[in-house]
Amino acid sequence: MNTYLTLSLGAGMLGIIWGFYQSWRILQKPTGTEPMNAIADAIAQGAEAFLRREYSTIFVIALVIFGILWGTLGALSAVAFAIGAFCSAAAGFVGMNIAVRSNIRTSVAAQKGLGEALSLAFTGGSVTGLMVAGLALLSVVVTFLLVEGGASPEAIDLKPLVALGFGGSLISVFARLGGGIYTKGADVGTDMVGKIEKGIPEDDPRNPGVIADLVGDNVGDDAGMAADLFETYVVTAVAVMLLGQLTIPGFSHAMLLPMVVGAGGIVASIIGTLFVRLGKSKKIMPALYKGLGVSAVVSAGLFYVITTALMRGNGMFSTMNLYLSSLIGIAVTIGMVVITEFYTSKNYGSVRHIAASANTGHGTNIIAGLAVSMKSTLAPVLLIAAATLLGFWLAGLYGVAIAVMSMLSLAGIVIAIDAFGPITDNAGGIAEMTNQPEKVRNVTDALDAVGNTTKAVTKGYAIASAGLAALVLFASYTQELAAAGKAVSFPLSDPYVLVGLFIGAALPYIFGALAMEAVGTAAGAVVIEVRRQFKTIKGIMEGKKKPEYGRAVDIVTRAALREMIVPAILPVGVPILVGFLLGRAALGGLLVGTIVTGLFVAISMTTGGAAWDNAKKYIEEGHFGGKGSPAHQAAVTGDTVGDPYKDTAGPAINPMIKVANIVALLIAGFLH
């Protein structure tokens, strides 16, 4: 086996082994009192039951697609599709299982102080991060070994690798949608009755929907995010390999480079996790960013060694230009972190402006939140545009692709920072429901507040990487057509291109609307059930009777699984219809339209929703009257609107964009 493939294979396995080692460390920690274990067990059982039912639903659809791929593209493509789907599902399942076992241990660690709780919660998050990066790289390397077969670089058929990406994308769009519908349906429905109608606090054990709400944090922000970034990682690596084969023909290292860059990123991410420690300032966010910063610096050093070793003598681009392209990806990652925190952190003006607007009512709070969500799109888009132009100037389309791959190589540490969020949220819920001392709740509240911002930051990173990955996929689509002797341009004077552009631009809006409606339907079902229990089970409000938590969990599970099907089929079905009915030019227009509007809609929704949420938290800290004040009630309304924005519709647009592009790549050879 090629030395570089061996290194990549080893790095992928190292990521998985490190994840299991961290899991073992977590499971050695104490689990607290019997009441704490009862709640933690209920959360774990609900999350695992949802994921099993969700994957069972997806399995039927995947089986149909597996058969179609076998019949059209061959057995190897069908097997690669199955590998992608399985590894994506496994990454989410393992990560979520550790998250639901880290929450109670974080609650117990909070009794010893902020440093202990932070360390344990982040360790739990790092399991998801390293499992995603490790499994993603491993799946790409193994599939490449299956298709290589000793052939010359230009003769290697990379179509099975595209099918691998499709398998990951299929799981991702369903996981993001299903998990997002579940988490926000439970959250909104529970809050509407508990906070607004009954006036009881969040995570109050008297609320029949509270366990469903805590389950939702795991299936949405852990399993869903894992599947999302798994497929972005795989799809990006595959797109870079395709472009390498087409733009530097005959030079095999152009296809190996993305895998070795991914290997360097895993090593850097593991090193970065070792530096996440609370400093003298006792501030949580700098502790997390220290790990990201170390990973970025180590990656920059490793990428220089990797690029000079692999790409010397490629005959097309200088190794320094390719190395500088990889640094662009790191810069975009840091830039997205800074921009997203500026718009979503309580320390800056955007969130405080939304909070202040709540003083004058519900309507002004909604208006302010919408304005911030729209404004938040400009800086990320300018950053992505600058990165695209710089990468292209340095090394053409291949330079842009390398920038995206270097960005995704940091997925391990970035996902670790994100998966920290649901663990701390659950830890706070367990502490609240078991009446832990105020000092414990103060620790979990501090971690939860930061977790909300880290989740927003990671979604910003995911959207930016998805946008850049989609641009690379679109370039691969055009190159694939050219290689098949079907080269096509996309002038706006061509009515087919224009029609495709309009249809593609509409897709993210229709998709987002269906996702929002699904949350509304699921939340409505939860509201009816929670109201029923408050009305019929006497003694709940007095704490004399326990609610039937399992009923709410089951109701929102069935609603989420039912509602996710139609929107998830859109990015698969529409490109096929447009491609075969209107042709390859119209399909190219569709892809461009989907990328452009999808990027704006996703950034707007995720950033705006997080800003609404943190504005509510800012008021709850005592500003503008604090909890229970008119301003707080208005902020709760804003947060209720923002929840499905940031945790369902917005994030699910990421995989939707890439699924559409992957489908286009798969059918390119069949189009007229």
pLDDT in tens, 425-477: 889 889 888 888 888 888 988 888 787 778 778 888 888 887 888 888 788 77
Task: Please enumerate in sequence order all residues whose Cβ is within 8 A of that of 349, keeping only pairs 6 or more positions apart, or say none.
Answer: none
User: Contact at 8 Å (CB) between 124 and 415?
Assistant: no
pLDDT of residue 1: 65
Q: How far apart are CA 384 and CA 398, in angstroms?
A: 16
**Residue 519, Cα to own-chain centre: how many angstroms?**
18
Length of the chain: 672
Residue type for position 105: R
Q: How far apart are CA 218 and CA 183, in angstroms?
A: 8
Residue 559: exposure state from Cβ atoms within 10 A (0-12, 13-18, ≥19) = buried
For the record, the structure tokens of 150 come out as 């000793």
Residue appearing with tokens 């102080």: 113
Task: Please enumerate in sequence order all residues whose Cβ is within 8 A of that of 26, keeping only pairs 6 or more positions apart, or say none.
Answer: 98, 101, 102, 105, 120, 123, 124, 127
The string of DSSP codes covering 315-343 is: SSS-HHHHHHHHHHHHHHHHHHHHHHHHH
Q: How far apart are CA 657 and CA 227, in angstroms?
A: 15
Q: How far apart are CA 279 and CA 118, in angstroms?
A: 11
pLDDT of residue 484: 67
**What is the pTM assigned to this prediction?**
0.90
The 3-state DSSP class for residue 280 equals coil
Q: How far apart are CA 183 and CA 110, in angstroms?
A: 25
Q: How far apart are CA 323 and CA 339, in angstroms?
A: 25
Residue appearing with tokens 């610096």: 297
For the record, the structure tokens of 301 come out as 């050093």
CA distances from 192 to 118, 527, 531, 536 (A): 31, 7, 10, 18
Task: Please enumerate in sequence order all residues whose Cβ is within 8 A of that of 472, keeping only pairs 6 or more positions apart, or say none.
Answer: 236, 239, 240, 243, 397, 400, 401, 404
Which ranges of 434-564 does DSSP label H, i.e. alpha helix?
438-483, 495-536, 549-563
User: Contact at 8 Å (CB) between 54 and 130?
Assistant: no
First to last CA, the chain: 40
DSSP-derived letter for residue 219 is I
pLDDT of residue 326: 95
DSSP-derived letter for residue 358 is G
Residue type for position 296: A
pLDDT of residue 287: 92
pLDDT of residue 461: 85
pLDDT of residue 386: 94
Backbone Cα Rg of the chain: 24
CB-CB neighbours of 412 under 10 Å: 33
The candidate with the shortest Cα–Cα distance to 172, out of 91, 107, 53, is: 91
The 3-state DSSP class for residue 491 equals coil
Q: How far apart are CA 209 and CA 195, in angstroms?
A: 12
Q: How far apart are CA 333 and CA 582, in angstroms?
A: 38
User: Contact at 8 Å (CB) between 306 and 257?
Assistant: yes
Residues (pLDDT < 50) of the chain are: none
The 3-state DSSP class for residue 548 equals coil
Residue 493: exposure state from Cβ atoms within 10 A (0-12, 13-18, ≥19) = exposed
Q: How far apart are CA 323 and CA 217, in angstroms?
A: 38
CB-CB neighbours of 171 under 10 Å: 30
For the record, the structure tokens of 310 come out as 């692999």
Which ranges of 537-629 does DSSP label H, i.e. alpha helix?
549-563, 565-582, 584-620
Q: How far apart are CA 345 and CA 85, in angstroms?
A: 35
Residue 547, Ramachandran bin (φ over 0: left; ψ between -120 and 50: alpha; else beta)? beta
User: Contact at 8 Å (CB) between 624 and 630?
Assistant: no
Task: Please enumerate in sequence order all residues whose Cβ is within 8 A of that of 38, keeping only pairs 6 or more positions apart, or say none.
Answer: none
DSSP-derived letter for residue 345 is -
The candidate with the shortest Cα–Cα distance to 414, out of 293, 536, 588, is: 293
| Angle at the Cα of 11 from the Cα atoms of 5 and 14, rounded to 5 degrees | 145
Residue appearing with tokens 């993603």: 136
**Residue 409, Cα to own-chain centre: how many angstroms?**
15
CA distances from 50 to 57, 121, 495, 561 (A): 11, 23, 45, 9
For the record, the structure tokens of 532 come out as 């029923």
Q: How far apart are CA 317 and CA 302, in angstroms?
A: 19
For the record, the structure tokens of 199 come out as 């006036």
Q: How far apart are CA 55 and CA 50, in angstroms?
A: 9
